[in-house]
Amino acid sequence: MTWARSFLNVISHTWFLSIIQNEFRTGKIDLDSTMKLLEKLHMPFDFAHVKHVFKKTIDKRKVHMINIEDFRAIYRTIVHRLEFQELFRIYSLNGKILADTELTEFLKKEQYETEACETTALEIILKYEPIEEGCRCLEIDCWDGSNNEPVVYHGHTLTSKIPFQSVIEVIDKYAFVALKFKILIKNKKVGTIEEGMLRRHLDRHGETGEISDFENMSDEDETDEKAPLYPKSDSSKRKSDQKPSSPPRKKAKMKKIKIAIALSDLVIYTKSQKFVSFEHSLANQKCYENNSIGEVRAQKFVKISAKEFVSHTSRFITRIYPKGTRTNSSNYNPQEFWNVGCQMVALNFQTPGVPMELQNGKFLDNGRCGYILKPEFLRNRNSTFTPHNVGRYSKPISLSIRLISGHQLPPSNLSKTNKADPLVQIEIYGVPEDQAKKKSSVIKSNALSPRWNETFSFTIQVPELALIRFCVKDEISLVANEFLGQYTLPLLSLSKGYRNVPLLSKDGDNLEAASLFVHVWYY
């Protein structure tokens, strides 16, 4: 229990052979069987990279098949991360396993988790290793401790002692998160632990019910810059909207169904109100009324009336929507409207690109629930904050990103093998003063395991509003690059220390095997 076994994929020879040897009962396997075996090992991989390594292995042979030793070599090529191995050996006493004390030291020194202890290490082991890998039986080696309190440690070894109570609390915290079945405890020295000690709280299921459903609920036409999002009364519609040449709009049909009044009362929290001006809203608008402002008009406000805009959004929910001339469903940069506190910044979700990557990245925060709390200076009605002159609201931090390496990056579309000439662009989005882009060098013909070891520094004035984007590109020419993958997240969600940055495709899909390895520091 107190050992992080097989940490960082240090795989024993015996275990590996026991898993794969049945696949080689006929002696050799082809490329298709190689792919299936890698999937069986739950090994994320890029098809192009495996195909290239496989082809390289059989190049000088007449038969396009590999034996078990060839497969082991291919597996090592795909899995092996020299930079991980180097880091692992710094903290592992024997280079094979990481004791809880060694893992704790790593967390404190490299990940800057200054309060980490043996219990923290135990939580990591339980959270990421045996229980989530399907383990249903844990062995707890218990011994007599002081004050009649049992302790847990690996007997007759140098492992540290952890209170039995801490172990049980950790099991209770993590063992039932993703599991619906019992965890069996194989216990030494102490009597049988009943399930009731582990699970103090029973699952509670709330009642379910139906919510009212409306058909063809059409919003007011948004091609006009001032048109609001939500349905309004006829008296509030502008006469200019009524065009004789256009056929009259059919009234929305409402499906008559029974609804629960209590649930229905929860549906409407806000009412649409036509936006006239900031002064008009301040004098007449109710706190539960919202406005919709067109993209072009809102951009003008950001430039010439930012202080009033921030004051407005601190009082009223404000929605920004794309201009009607975006016939190709393109998007604007949502950051400039988040900078002034707009709560709902509408985008064309069907259109991939940087704006949607910023949108998805920003809302990674707060458990991806879709709601995040604005900074205090955007909620305070007396705030004088403006994005173009942050003044006393500046809380600058110095950020250092060491780009170490990449792993299984997508090959170039122009490559017939698994090659690419990758470079990484690190971008900061936030208030105008914080906007920045820095680019790495190009690694020639290596998408499998490029190494950079380059450091980039940034000074961020308003970190609460900043997003950081890692974008990987393939250099096609001196003036053209091909997008390979990206990852965007709130700057303050970026933890210090060594971090593995996953990569997403242009459509936002997880590229699984592809990642960047970086070291983060800021103060």
**Residue 78 to residue 62: CA distance in whole angstroms:** 24
Q: pLDDT value at position 373? A: 95
**Residue 29 to residue 173: CA distance in whole angstroms:** 44
Q: pLDDT value at position 74? A: 87
**Residue 294 to residue 337: CA distance in whole angstroms:** 11
Please give the model's pTM, rounded to 2 decimal places: 0.66
Q: pLDDT value at position 219? A: 38
Contact in structure between 423 and 445 (CB atoms under 8 Å):
no
Q: 177 has which bridge partners?
A: none
How are beta strands 422-429 and 318-321 bridged, if at all? unpaired
Contact in structure between 310 and 340 (CB atoms under 8 Å):
yes
**Cα of 127 vs its chain's centroid, Å:** 18
Q: Which residues contact 187 (CB under 8 A, 6 or more apart)?
A: 139, 140, 142, 193
Question: Which helix (H) or strand (E) covers residue 18, if one does?
Answer: helix 13-20
Q: pLDDT value at position 223? A: 42
**Residue 394 to residue 110: CA distance in whole angstroms:** 28
CATH of domain 259-379: 3.20.20.190
Contact in structure between 336 and 305 (CB atoms under 8 Å):
no
Domain spanning 394-522: CATH superfamily: C2 domain (2.60.40.150)
- Quickly list H helices, 385-510: none
Q: pLDDT value at position 470? A: 99
Those residues of the chain that have pLDDT short of 50 are 1-11, 133-136, 178-181, 184, 186, 188, 190-246, 260, 263-264, 266-267
Question: Which helix (H) or strand (E) covers residue 320, if one does?
Answer: strand 318-321
Contact in structure between 198 and 159 (CB atoms under 8 Å):
no
Domain ranges of the chain: 3-80, 117-198, 259-379, 394-522
Q: For the domain made up of 3-80, give the CATH fold.
A: Recoverin; domain 1 (1.10.238)
Q: pLDDT value at position 225? A: 42
Q: pLDDT value at position 134? A: 43
Q: pLDDT value at position 203? A: 35
Q: 454 has which bridge partners?
A: 403
Pull the structure tokens for residue 233: 């009364």
Nearest to 467 by CA among 372, 352, 327, 328: 372
Q: pLDDT value at position 21? A: 80
Residue keyed to tokens 């122009």 = 414
- Quickly list H helices, 110-260: 118-128, 164-174, 195-198
In angstroms, the first-to-last Cα distance of the chain is 36
Q: pLDDT value at position 174? A: 64
- Coil, helix or strand at residue 99: strand
- Coil, helix or strand at residue 344: strand
In 92-239, beta strands by DSSP E: 98-99, 137-143, 151-152, 162-163, 184-188
**Residue 281 to residue 271: CA distance in whole angstroms:** 14
Q: Do domains 3-80 and 394-522 have the same CATH topology?
A: no
Residue keyed to tokens 């140098």 = 158
